[in-house]
Amino acid sequence: MSFITRGFSGRGRDRDPRLPPGQTLVEDWPVLSAGPTPDIDPADWEFVVATENGRHTWNWDEMHALGVEDITVDIHCVTHWSKLEMAWRGVPLDKIFENVETSYDYVMAHSYGGYTTNVPLDELLDGQAWIAFEADGEPLTPEHGGPARLLVPHLYFWKSAKWVRGLVMMPSDDPGFWEQNGYNLHGDPWAEERYW
């Protein structure tokens, strides 16, 4: 059973060529919280990359010393909002993987609080992804994933894991949290890869 309620139209939906299909432009920055917001002091923050060969770790200062970049990117949330030309600062994953040896092709990103999301390694390299600390000129707030979040702007924003704490290399493309619960393994907004 389903029928139309007179006069109800939902929110307005507009178009811009920079918007992938099904997306709407927002000026604010919506927060999507699927759990408690962790409060992490950068002094306690540690980032780990785990491979079949061992672990690599960086503390806050060591991560920054890899080289911080300024970038401007568009972000697209699977919940139909997009934000254009956002200024970010972060360390490209190319720097992190310079000294990491692995034969595995897939990555599970892990966050403080237990969130996970999967991404193929080749979609994190060649200037496609960062460990980000700042957005719009301000340090990332805890609500937006601070002190550090993964930034993978060419995929739906759930791949840009908030409160990121490490990457675990995997031989196969195992699903992360939302990917186990109906969302697409890959998540390309231009192909509208929302669900599976």
Q: Which residues bind other proteins (CB under 8 A)?
A: 1-11, 30, 32-36, 77-80, 113-114, 158, 177-178, 180-183, 194-195
Name which of 39 and 70 has its Cβ closer to other proteins. Answer: 39
**In the complex, what is the shortest distance from the CB of residue 70 to other proteins, in angstroms, rounded to a whole number?**
29
Nearer Cβ to other proteins (34/87):
34
Instruction: Report the b/e string of 7-19 with b at 16+ CB within 10 A.
Output: eeeeeeeeeeeeb
The nearest distance, CB 167 to other proteins, in angstroms, is: 21
Determine the 3-state secondary structure of 176 from DSSP.
coil
CB of 62 to other proteins, least distance (A): 30
Least distance to other proteins, CB of residue 144, Å = 14
Nearer Cβ to other proteins (125/175): 175
Nearest CB to other proteins, comparing residues 2 and 172: 2
Nearer CB in complex with other proteins: 6/99 = 6
- For β-strands 69-76 and 81-92, DSSP reports them as antiparallel
Q: Is 18 helix (H, G, I), strand (E, B) or coil?
A: coil
Which segments within the chain are labelled E, that is strand? 24-25, 46-51, 54-59, 69-76, 81-92, 106-111, 116-120, 130-135, 138-139, 149-151, 164-170
Beta-carbon neighbour count of residue 191 at 10 Å? Answer: 11
Find the shortest distance in angstroms from Cβ 82 to other proteins.
13
**What is the token pair recorded at 91?**
């360390």
